[in-house]
Each structure stands twice: as structure tokens, then as C-alpha cells.
Amino acid sequence: MQLLIENMNGEIAKEVLSWEYDKPYDFYNNELTDEAMKELLDGSYNALVNNNQELIGFFCTGNNAQVPVGKKLGVYSAKSIDMGLGMNPKYVGKGSGFEFCSFIMRYIEKNYQSTPIRLTVAKFNQRAIHLYEKLGFVKKDEFSTDFAEFMTMVKEFE
């Protein structure tokens, strides 16, 4: 699968916010609201498309990749670049995750000069955790919100 980075725009943001995941991953479903659109269009998000211009997923870096409760608890204090991502539900569970995440990681490593990459994942999402471990991430902090338990994972570069 060839991936290309596109700037997030209104059309793509609306598509992302309309994605519907199967249970238990429906936890990641969003709603098309002005606030959600504003976040996706704030410049921290990029879209990933294939060579047919089909939307494969998105990623973001920085504060939007952090869970607010985790910020209050100090789990984001170590110097890292935070990475958030989402894959189009029609590609989830089809064996594309490693390539998808590797592409995003290469982009971040190139643009942030080997700064450790940190991500936050819901603890129930064992499929994603297994993938992140294969990509070299190690578990760091754990915290809970009113609606889920999370963990941070970090990938260090030599």
C-alpha cells in the first residue's frame, strides 16, 4: 500500500468524523460537531491517502494526541512528540496497521530528529497495543478517566 500525506481539509475532516467502528472499537467513533471540525482543521492533523486518493487514515502530533486527564496527572511531562492516529474502519483488522503506523513513525522521526515518540492507547485495545509493541513501543504510564483506562507507550530512538 502506497501512502501519501495530504493536508487535512473540511471534506476529509467530515469523512473522518463520520467513521463508524465495530464494537468494541466504537469507543473511537466521533460526532460531526463544530468543535470536532475545528480541532481536525487546526493544523496538527494530516490525512493519509493511497495512490487512488482513498482516505486510509489520519494522524496528529502534539497536544491533540494527548488525553486531557493524562495532562492533569503529569503523564506527558517527559520530552517526547505525542502521536495520535486513526485508521479508516474499512481497513482496520486487515493487516495494514504495521505499514500504516511505520509510515507515520518515519514521518515523525524525520521531522522531529529522533525525539522519542509517545502515544496514548485505551487499555482494552489489545490489538493496537500488540501492534505498537511490535513497532518497538514500551508501556510507560497508566491512568483512568470516567469512561476508559489508558496507557502511554514510548518509542525511543538510538
Mean pLDDT of 35-47: 96
**Angle of the 126-134 helix axis to the 97-111 helix axis, nearest 10:** 60
pLDDT for 82 equals: 97
Q: What is the pLDDT of residues 5-33, one digit of tens each?
A: 999 999 999 999 999 999 988 889 999 99
- Please, which pLDDT band fits residue 1 given cuts at 50, 70 and 90? confident
User: Across-strand partners of 48?
Assistant: 5, 57
Q: Is the pLDDT of residue 106 over 90?
A: yes
- Grid coordinates representing 80 are 517526547
Q: Average pLDDT of the chain? A: 94
Which of the 8 DSSP states describes residue 66?
S
Q: Report whether 36 contacts 28 (CB < 8 A).
A: no
Q: Is the pLDDT of residue 114 over 90?
A: no
Report the largest interatomic distance among the alpha carbons of the chain, rounded to a whole angstrom: 43
Q: Which amino acid is at 47?
A: A
User: Across-strand partners of 144?
Assistant: 149
Span 3-155 CATH architecture? 3-Layer(aba) Sandwich (3.40)
